[in-house]
Amino acid sequence: MPTAQSAHTASELWDIATPARPSRLPGVSMAAFSARTTGPVDLDVVPYPAVTVAVNLSDGLLTVDDSTGRRLGGTVVVGLAAGCVHGRGQDIECLQLRLSPLVAHTVLAGCTESGGALVSLDDLWGREAGRTRERLHAAGSWQERFAIAEAALGRRHEAGRPVDPEVAFVWGRMLAHRGGVRVEQLATEVGWSRKRLWSRFRSQLGLTPKRAAQLVRFDHAAHRLAAGHSAALVAAEIGYADQSHLHRDVVAFTGVTPTAVAAAPWLAVDDIAWAAPAYLSEA
């Protein structure tokens, strides 16, 4: 969730472009962001139930920091376990990809080996990352860039290894139930022990099943709060034990209270850039 440290709306801060058609690769969404200001921009990125790839296409430096103090520039992959990260840059021109974790496992082999956190695309794709970035820089339009990115992902997807069917099933159930699932029940449904599901899910998607379900539930709660629904109603609808439970979860994921989330401008960009979040779909 890109955020700006001001009350400006997304349309005032950014020129946003989206693909003319949905991606042919299920579980992939793309958007392009060009800052309307030439001054420094600070961006907070709150966790999403998707793996984010941010490609800096400006002449300036765009850096991303995680909570451990690790800082990366260039093309950065933000895994499910990265938590809140912070971006800084100037004259920002950035292509952002959001990938279902099922797709990310296949096209970003090695991402979860870093704990599902912050990693450079160069470390995952080697020289292909640089070649792809050069082609994106040379492209004459955002639509051409979207096509280049989709082709690169398609090649990696065709050559990559998919997640276990059991892991894909569990992820799909989490999405369908908005995170309101019991891990033990899901393990029984796929015929695995709880320990085996925990191990395979974490190794392939970067999070434990419990944490992944919490992330999916939080994402729905944040959007409901931003839409103007009361914390009490959201807690009841999304499946929190009570309003205090919702409060703790929101603070843990964002560092701010549900009241602050409801009033914050940072979800405004979603309606423009991610109106159809294909990145949450099953691959």
Give residue limits of the domains in the chain.
2-162, 165-263
Count of other CB atoms within 10 angstroms of residue 21: 10
Structure tokens at 170: 């569990």
Cα–Cα dist 89/99, whole Å: 23
Q: CA-to-CA distance for 255 and 261, rounded, in angstroms?
A: 10
Whether 62 and 89 have beta carbons less than 8 Å apart is answered as yes
CATH 2.60.120.10 at 2-162, yes or no: yes
The residue type found at 59 is D
Q: Record the tokens describing residue 6, joined without a space.
A: 């001001």
The token pair that represents 107 in the structure block: 């096209």
Q: Which residues contact 48 (CB under 8 A, 6 or more apart)?
A: 1, 98, 215, 219, 279
Q: pLDDT tens for the chain, 283 residues: list them.
A: 443 333 345 557 788 999 999 899 999 999 999 887 766 777 777 788 999 999 999 887 788 888 777 888 889 998 888 877 878 887 788 999 999 999 999 999 878 766 668 899 999 999 999 999 999 999 999 999 999 999 999 999 999 999 999 999 999 999 999 999 999 999 999 999 999 999 999 999 999 999 999 999 999 998 899 888 999 999 999 989 999 999 999 999 888 899 888 776 567 677 778 877 766 765 5
Give the architecture-level CATH label for domain 165-263: Orthogonal Bundle (1.10)
Q: Which pLDDT score, from 0 to 100, does residue 172 have?
A: 95
Place of tokens 């030439």: 38
What's the pLDDT at 44? 74
CA distance 2 to 161: 31
* CA gap 262, 119 in Å, rounded: 31
Tell me 114's DSSP state: G
- Per-residue model confidence (pLDDT) at position 86: 79
pTM check: above 0.85? yes
Alpha helices in the chain (DSSP H): 10-13, 101-107, 121-125, 127-138, 142-159, 165-176, 183-190, 194-205, 209-226, 231-238, 243-254, 258-263, 270-273
Measure CA 54 to chain center.
10
